[in-house]
């Protein structure tokens, strides 16, 4: 069957596929017996050997050879799309304003901003003293710093209280292990502090010579220790101020907005603990704010006369309590904003005269202005059916100007500043889409699918006007659904290359996220994880039933934990999708969670469970994509990974693809692309990532018969 849509020739997937993908010989991975035995369950893992590069590094050539063979295969299978991919790349790049500048942020007497230049992949970090008309200081020229590096990330720019020095981190491997550097802003001199394996940032004490930083275990990448370093001293003699013994916790160090306290935060999925230190007493001892309590999370905000604490203690959707500066234990906590069953309290932004509460209600984000003198509340209102609003960087405490961001699936990212006293709102900047963009040419809707258990699943969708709901049009459905991370509706200029070629794009706000409140997350983790997968499948079936698309034209996409989702839905409902894009996917759940030498494994026990527990083991095994590959038909699959991925190691998708190749009974396409120089986030340059987007789009366009 053929049809014409928006002037493009579109053929049915089955007809097109057999005519256009070359008949190449697929890579075949070697099998080696490896028995996993636990809880009386014996499993042979024939591709376990692929962990070899992770264990041995460059001494392991067999794994690298296999990954290269897969790369050769996908390149051959997609070779005819090279001109189209280049066209897509240039098309998406052309929408980006190459010479651009961020909105300057005022902090401690200076305006800070970054700017980009035409043809450059990175940026320059700059400041101006006192006024935007003052001379520019280029603090870091990251374009120049990155020269000669396939991957380069500069992060954590932290200025000393007296504005004369800066600490920053550099990762040139893509493992999220940063070295710390000091720049003297008076002389321009840069010093390697000899501090490595950090998160990339440091926190200044108020004496302008002491910093605190978080150190990672170089093997597991766990954040384990907080050190104090005094400038001018040997980093090998840095003082350990805190060590986290619980391997399920992440730790970090930061400073309160009013610059009064240094905070150390230790956090797992279900509990947290904060330590605090007077920022004027750099050599003092940190005090425990409130010892950790099982299943209790809390965040601390410092005001002049008290602390505010955002917590879920006796409050599923969180509430805000207050406590004296010298009596911080839970017995002193008094309700400030009580718990509400229908509102999720997410964050507090503090100013001298106002508080801004970031909340979530009915699946939508909202901002509430609270006058500290009168107690009056005001909601910021917006008129689109689905959108995202959020607090921006507001580092100044003594100001009545509040900056926030707003976006929707048809409204480009916008930055506003509102005078909290007068209510006057000014648009500071809206993402400029070069080549012309008219939001009136597109439609966004908020839909609700019904899950098998009766739960209503929100879906945000966008398409170009003229899109017919007759079941014949392609649709890409995206979701994440883990860690309580909410995937809100937002604008993407690259997505226009899909919409303008007849695709609809939808986000399924499935359980495991936190869009509908904390219970939404609780119902999509641990022993309820399968709700995440069935919610996504039910969302896809709803879109088919309502004739937004059909299984011949329905595509699914997710990355990392969302890649696990892709693997699960490919196993559970393979006939619903024409294509699945699984990026840096966490698909070997059982084996990874059993191996504590793999980075971040122990941090994840509260999300997935600990498979050393029998019940958790068998539940994980029942949905883990790698464990559940069967002899049956699968949809077309594009899988991506990075050899240096620090979050989901390369061998998970590699093993999964090898097993799929061995067992699947269809002739559909299965491609594995490995970035040999990058990690979890892909390329570091601001344009390079577009090549990966172009490949994803070209994969779907090829299946749809869209050729231009």
pLDDT(566) > 90: yes
Give mean pLDDT, residues 187-200. 93
Q: Is 1's pLDDT higher than 50?
A: no
643 vs 459: which has the higher pLDDT: 459
Point out the least confidently predicted range of 173-177, 424-428, 472-476, 583-587: 173-177
| Bridge-based pairing state of the strands 319-324 and 414-419 | unpaired
What stretches of 433-561 adopt beta strand conformation (E)? 442-450, 456-464, 475-478, 504-508, 554-559
CA–CA dist 577, 579 (Å, integer): 5
For residue 602, pLDDT over 80 is answered with no
Which residue of the set 215, 560, 582, 646 is catalytic?
560
> Is there a catalytic annotation at residue 560?
yes
Quote the DSSP letter at residue 162. Answer: T
| Continuous segment of H or E residues that includes residue 520 | helix 518-522
**Residue 14 pLDDT > 70:** no
Residue 576 has what pLDDT? 98
Going by pLDDT thresholds of 50, 70 and 90, the confidence category of residue 151 is: confident
User: Which residues contact residue 545 at a Cβ distance below 8 angstroms, ignoring those fewer than 6 apart?
Assistant: none
The 3-class secondary structure across 598-615, one letter per residue, is CCCCHHHHHHHCCCCCHH
pLDDT at 15 over 50: no
DSSP structure class, residue 217: P
End-to-end CA distance of the chain: 20
What is the three-state SS of 493-505?
Answer: CCCHHHHCCCCEE
pLDDT of residue 55: 66
Catalytic residue list contains 680: yes
pLDDT at 89 over 90: yes
Q: Would you state the pLDDT for residue 601?
A: 79
Can 482 be counted among the known catalytic residues? no
**Mean pLDDT, range 352-359, rounded to an integer:** 97
Q: Quick one: pLDDT band at residue 266, thresholds 50, 70, 90?
A: very high
The pLDDT assigned to 684 comes to 47
For residue 306, the cross-strand partners are 324
Q: Any idea what DSSP says for residue 603?
A: G
Q: Is 689 helix (H, G, I), strand (E, B) or coil?
A: helix
In percent, the amount of the chain with pLDDT more than 90 equals 81
Q: What is the pLDDT of residue 56?
A: 66
Q: Report the chain's mean pLDDT, rounded to a whole number.
A: 92
What's the CA gap between 242 and 225, in Å, rounded? 6
Does residue 403 contact residue 415 with C-beta atoms inside 8 Å?
Answer: yes
Which one of the listed residues 488, 645, 675, 684 is annotated catalytic?
645
Where does residue 168 rank: exposed (0-12), middle (13-18), buried (19+ CB within 10 A)? Answer: buried
Interval 16-74: pLDDT, tens: 343 478 889 999 999 999 999 999 999 999 999 998 766 666 556 888 899 999 999 99
What local confidence, expressed as pLDDT, does residue 176 receive? 80
pLDDT in tens, 384-398: 999 999 999 999 999
Q: What is the pLDDT of residue 686?
A: 63
Crossing angle between the packed helical segments 62-77 and 651-663, to the nearest 10 degrees: 60
Catalytic residue among 229, 675, 680, 684: 680
What is the C-alpha R_g of the chain? 26
Tell me: pLDDT of 125 over 80. Answer: yes
Could you read off the pLDDT of 426-451 as tens digits, one per residue? 999 999 999 999 999 999 999 999 99
pTM passes above 0.85: yes
């Amino acid at each position: 069957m053929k049809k014409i849509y928006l002037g493009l020739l579109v053929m049915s997937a089955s007809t097109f596929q057999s005519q256009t993908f070359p008949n190449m010989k697929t890579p075949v991975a070697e099998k080696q017996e490896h028995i996993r035995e636990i809880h009386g369950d014996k499993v042979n893992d024939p591709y376990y050997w692929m962990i070899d590069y992770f264990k041995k590094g460059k001494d392991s050539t067999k794994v690298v050879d296999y990954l290269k063979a897969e790369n050769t295969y996908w390149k051959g299978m997609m070779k005819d799309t090279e001109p189209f991919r280049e066209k897509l790349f240039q098309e998406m790049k052309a929408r980006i304003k190459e010479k651009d500048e961020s909105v300057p942020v005022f902090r401690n007497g200076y305006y800070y901003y970054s700017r980009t230049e035409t043809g450059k992949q990175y940026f320059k970090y700059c400041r101006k003293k006192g006024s935007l008309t003052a001379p520019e200081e280029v603090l870091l020229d990251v374009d120049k710093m990155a020269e000669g590096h396939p991957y380069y990330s500069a992060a954590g720019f932290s200025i000393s209280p007296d504005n004369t020095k800066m600490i920053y981190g550099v990762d040139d491997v893509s493992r999220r292990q940063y070295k710390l550097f000091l720049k003297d802003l008076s002389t321009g001199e840069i010093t390697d502090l000899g501090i490595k394996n950090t998160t990339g940032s440091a926190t200044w004490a108020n004496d302008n010579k002491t910093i605190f930083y978080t150190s990672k275990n170089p093997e597991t990448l766990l954040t384990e220790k907080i050190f104090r370093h005094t400038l001018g001293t040997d980093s090998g003699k840095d003082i350990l101020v805190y060590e986290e013994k619980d391997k399920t916790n992440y730790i970090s160090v930061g400073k309160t907005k009013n610059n009064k306290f240094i905070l150390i935060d230790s956090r797992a999925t279900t509990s947290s603990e904060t330590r605090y230190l007077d920022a004027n007493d750099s050599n003092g001892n940190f005090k425990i704010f409130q010892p950790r309590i099982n299943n209790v999370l809390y965040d601390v905000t410092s005001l002049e006369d008290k602390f505010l604490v955002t917590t879920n203690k006796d409050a599923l959707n969180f509430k805000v309590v207050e406590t004296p500066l010298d009596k911080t234990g839970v017995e002193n906590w008094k309700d400030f904003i009580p718990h509400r069953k229908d509102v999720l309290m997410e964050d507090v932004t503090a100013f001298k005269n106002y508080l801004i509460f970031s909340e979530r209600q009915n699946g939508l984000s909202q901002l509430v202005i609270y006058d500290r003198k009168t107690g009056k509340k005001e909601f910021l209102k917006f008129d689109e059916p689905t959108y995202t609003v959020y607090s921006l960087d507001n580092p100044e405490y003594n100001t009545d100007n509040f900056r926030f961001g707003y976006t929707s699936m048809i409204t480009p990212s916008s930055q506003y500043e509102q005078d909290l006293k007068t209510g006057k709102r000014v648009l500071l900047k809206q993402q400029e889409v070069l080549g012309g963009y008219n939001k009136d040419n597109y439609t966004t809707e908020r839909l609700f699918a019904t899950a098998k258990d009766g739960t209503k699943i929100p879906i945000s969708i966008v398409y170009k006007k003229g899109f017919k709901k007759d079941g014949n049009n392609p649709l890409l459905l995206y979701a994440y659904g883990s860690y309580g991370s909410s995937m809100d509706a937002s604008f993407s200029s690259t997505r226009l290359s899909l919409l303008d070629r007849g695709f609809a794009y939808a986000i399924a706000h499935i359980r495991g996220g936190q869009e509908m409140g904390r219970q939404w997350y609780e119902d999509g983790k641990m022993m309820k994880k399968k709700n995440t997968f069935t919610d996504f499948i039910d969302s896809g079936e709803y879109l088919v039933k309502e004739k937004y698309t059909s299984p011949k034209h329905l595509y699914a996409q997710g990355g990392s934990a969302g890649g696990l989702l892709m693997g699960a839905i490919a196993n559970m409902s393979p006939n619903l999708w024409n294509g699945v894009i699984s990026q840096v996917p966490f698909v070997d759940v059982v084996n990874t969670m059993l191996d504590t030498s793999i980075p971040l494994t122990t941090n994840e026990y509260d999300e997935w469970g600990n498979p050393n527990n029998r019940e958790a083991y068998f539940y994980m095994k029942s949905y883990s994509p790698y464990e559940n590959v069967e002899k049956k038909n699968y949809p077309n699959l594009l899988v991506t990974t990075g050899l240096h991925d620090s979050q989901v190691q390369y061998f998970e998708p590699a093993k999964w693809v090898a097993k799929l190749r061995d067992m699947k009974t269809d002739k559909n396409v299965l491609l594995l692309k490995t970035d040999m120089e990058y990690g979890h986030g892909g390329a570091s340059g601001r344009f390079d990532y577009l090549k990966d987007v172009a490949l994803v789009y070209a994969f779907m366009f090829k299946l749809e018969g869209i050729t231009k």
